Amino acid sequence: MINADPTELQKFSELAHRWWDPNSEFRPLHEINPLRLDWINRHAAIAGKKVLDVGCGGGLLSEAMAARGATVTGIDLSEKALGVARLHLLESGRSVDYRYIAAEELAAQEAGTYDVVTCMEMLEHVPNPASTIASCAALVKPGGHVFFSTINRNPKAYVFAVLGAEYILQLLPKGTHEYAKFIKPSELSRWAKSVDLELNELIGMSYNPFAKSYSLGNDTSVNYLVHTVRNA
């Protein structure tokens, strides 16, 4: 059984044609992309590295990593999003290998192949996030880097990520997130450790509605990012 929610795939597929529009529903992704790219690069120095982007969607992060000199493979289970990603390569001139395949299936084929694996803003959209984390661990080389980002599960996260972002500020379409699928850092850390991923950094990402800007910091109560290293 594929570790994907058909409703989630449909939701993002319907919006896929607007993925590269910085003023669309994907504006937050455009705005956080430089932040997460610099953070990943600071830890993993991706130039010349073989990188896998799990849940790549329309390719915002995949292309950005390719622009930094990485050899990038992007995987997703939305054909429409992948179609948009491939089309954008014609415009940008970048090189990314986009594939329609689940992380679990790729892990069975290419275990220990990648220097770096990223899985950003994706875990809260799959039925079994622990399975995705295990696949990421299997795909990275021993000593390699695996990065995750997701949303904490607590009352503040519900107020900010659902009510605030989707209904009040309207940064995201209504129904983008389902609170029950949010993941506590302790849960993510436990799943990661169970598959030999050692936690290296846990950092928060916050939105300032007055400055209309995002920043990284110590507040992990809503959005957070995790850097792990595969035990050799």
207 neighbors 214 (Cβ within 8 angstroms)? yes
Asked if residue 47 belongs to a domain, the reply is: yes
Which structural domain, as residue segments, surrounds residue 172? 6-230
Residue 48, in any domain of the structure: yes
Q: Tens of pLDDT along the chain (232 residues)?
A: 688 878 878 877 877 788 899 988 788 889 999 999 999 999 999 999 999 999 999 999 999 999 999 999 999 999 999 999 999 999 999 999 999 999 999 999 999 999 999 999 999 989 999 999 999 999 999 999 999 999 999 988 878 767 655 555 565 666 667 778 999 999 999 999 999 999 999 999 998 878 878 999 999 999 999 999 999 7
Return the bridge partners of 159, or none. Answer: none
The owner of tokens 């899985």 is 119
**Considering the domain boundaries, does residue 41 fall inside one?**
yes
User: Would you say 184 and 158 are in contact if contact means Cβ atoms under 8 Å apart?
Assistant: no
Q: What is the value of pTM for the model shown?
A: 0.93
Is residue 117, in this structure, part of any structural domain at all?
Answer: yes
Give me the number of domains the chain comprises. Answer: 1
Q: Is residue 99 part of a domain?
A: yes
On whether residue 155 sits in a domain, the answer given is yes
DSSP H/E element including 200: strand 197-208
Asked, for residue 1, whether it belongs to a domain, the answer is no
CATH of the domain at 69: 3.40.50.150
